Amino acid sequence: MEEITKKDLLILTGISYGQLYRWKRKGLIPEEWFIKRASFTGQETYFPKDLILDRIDKILELKDEVSLEELSEIINKKQSEKEITINDLKETNLFFNQEVFDLYEKETIGFNHVVLLKLMDNIYHIVEEKEELKNFYQFISKYAKDILNDYKEIYFITSNDKLTSIFVKDSNNLEYQVDDILKVNLKNLIDNIKLIVMV
Amino acid sequence: MSEEKNVITVNGMMRSPGNLDCDEVDVNGMFKINGDLTSQKLKGNGLVKITGSVKVDHVKMNGSLKVNGDMETQSVQVGGLIKANSIISEEIKISGKLGIKNNINCDAFKLDLAGNSKVQNIEGSSVEVKQRKIKNHFLKVNTITADDIDIEHVTCDTVSGDKVKIGKGCIIKNLTYMTSLEVDPDAVVKNSEKAV
């Protein structure tokens, strides 16, 4: 994963140290993204570039409409039971492939299923056989709660039109030698959806 | 819900055998909590020891506050000694001695040194460390990262800031600044660099 130093991040985004650490304090930027490492100019903090830039964009975009306290509550609280209508969800522009809505049959949708649908959306382009996608969706919607609460990452591999998924609880010691792999970090996915859907 | 508050007042000595969740704790004397403390306020004079973590909105103490776990607060004001694993707060004002094993993440951090202090990292928007009355005490810290930094008698490996003022008695290994840098003739800065 490409990394960016704290200094470059501030220059690139125009935010201040104070803002960065205020957002960390409020839980809007996860502590794991602050990677401390020794460098020739002493200790330097690095960030996963894509993740942090994406998150800062979202916070800057939302911060005029929603207070930091509210944002912090949205991202840190347990997923609400509140359901929203499919039409409202379609209007968020969260989805690239409108076809995934066909997978869901009801009129209203809870947060967990929004995450699952978004997951389908993210893997849509790697699955050629759409019947596979449907089977997989039926499988994960059955265990939605367990998957979203217990697992950190999902890896997807396709071969011969078959979709294989690996659910991972702790990815620190995972090594793999497969070229076509799609990795989804569940927590980041959930947090990003919260910032879009719940605001 | 009634407007009644759960206030714990200690005059003398008290011990709590487990976690404590209340609205206010007022101590004159000594209070030891074997567990976590959750409260809106913690104030008093004397010694407070907490073996767990602390979630208190406002802390105002004279004396010693010793916490084994993490502190999550809105404001902390301590005259005397404060010890903890880490502190998250909007505002910290300490005159005395500080011993924090890990990080302080605080919007406005102010320390009047009286006694040698130590903390791993300080991060926030403003950091001020001064020595007013008692001489020859210092703060030892690994990194300081903030927009406005104004420090005296600080020994630090890495300072990064926007407007940085390094006062007397400081020993800084590496320093990066963005807008301005002032260094007292009495201070030592080994490497400094302007970030562009």
**Pair type for strands B20-21 and B24-33:** unpaired
Last residue of a domain, one of A76, A109, A141: A76
Q: Are B153 and B134 in contact (CB under 8 A)?
A: no
Q: Are residues A123 and A192 in the same domain?
A: yes
Q: Are A115 and A189 in contact (CB under 8 A)?
A: yes
Q: Are residues A92 and A66 in the same domain?
A: no
DSSP state of B103: E
Angle at the Cα of A74 from the Cα atoms of A70 and A80, rounded to 5 degrees: 130
> What CATH number is given to the structural domain containing A29?
1.10.1660
Query: Quick check: A7 contacting B, CB < 8 Å?
Result: yes
Which of B88, B123, B195 is facing A7, going by the closest CB pair?
A: B195
Which of A16, A21, A41 is facing B176, going by the closest CB pair?
A: A41
Query: Quick check: A145 contacting B, CB < 8 Å?
Result: no
Among A5, A41, A69, A76, the strongest candidate for a mutation testing the B interface, having the largest count of B CBs within 10 A, is A41
Q: Are B173 and B157 in contact (CB under 8 A)?
A: yes
Half-sphere exposure of A13 (CA within 13 A, CB side): 24
| B125 contacts A25? CB cut-off 8 A | no
Q: Are residues A181 and A107 in the same domain?
A: yes
| Percent of chain B residues topping a pLDDT of 70 | 98
Q: Which residue of B has its CA nearest to A41?
A: B174
Question: Chain A residues with CB inside 8 Å of B142's CB?
Answer: 43
Predicted pLDDT of residue A44? 84
Closest Cα in chain A, distance from residue B67 (Å): 19
Predicted pLDDT of residue A145? 82
pLDDT digits (tens, 9 = 90+) for B38-80: 999 999 999 999 999 999 999 999 999 999 999 999 999 999 9
Q: Are residues A94 and A66 in the same domain?
A: no
Helix (H) or strand (E) holding A166: strand A162-168
pLDDT digits (tens, 9 = 90+) for B19-43: 999 999 999 999 999 999 999 999 9
Instruction: Report the distance separating Cα B120 and Cα B101, nearest Å.
Output: 6
* Number of domains, chain A: 2
Predicted pLDDT of residue A9? 92
Last residue of a domain, one of A76, A96, A119: A76
What pLDDT band is residue A128 in, cutting at 50, 70 and 90? confident
Q: Are residues A137 and A187 in the same domain?
A: yes
Asked whether residue B150 carries a pLDDT value surpassing 60, the answer given is yes
DSSP state of A142: H
Closest Cα in chain B, distance from residue A21 (Å): 5
Owning domain of residue A53: 3-76
Asked whether residue A42 carries a pLDDT value surpassing 80, the answer given is no
Q: Are residues A66 and A112 in the same domain?
A: no
Last residue of a domain, one of A52, A76, A100: A76
pLDDT digits (tens, 9 = 90+) for A56-115: 988 998 888 888 888 888 887 766 667 888 888 888 778 888 888 888 888 888 888 888
Q: Are residues A115 and A181 in the same domain?
A: yes
Q: Are residues A92 and A165 in the same domain?
A: yes
Q: Are residues A116 and A145 in the same domain?
A: yes
Predicted pLDDT of residue A112? 84
pLDDT digits (tens, 9 = 90+) for B83-114: 999 999 999 999 999 999 999 999 999 999 99
Put simply, the chain A residues between 16 and 45 with a CB less than 8 A from any chain B CB are 16-19, 21-22, 24-25, 41-45
DSSP, collapsed to helix, strand or coil, labels residue B18 as coil
Instruction: Report the distance separating Cα B74 and Cα B108, nearest Å.
Output: 11
Q: Are B121 and B106 in contact (CB under 8 A)?
A: no
ipTM for the whole complex:
0.84
Q: Are residues A143 and A178 in the same domain?
A: yes
What pLDDT band is residue B2 in, cutting at 50, 70 and 90? low
Q: Are residues A135 and A66 in the same domain?
A: no
| A16 contacts B125? CB cut-off 8 A | yes
Q: Are residues A49 and A141 in the same domain?
A: no
Q: Are B174 and B158 in contact (CB under 8 A)?
A: yes
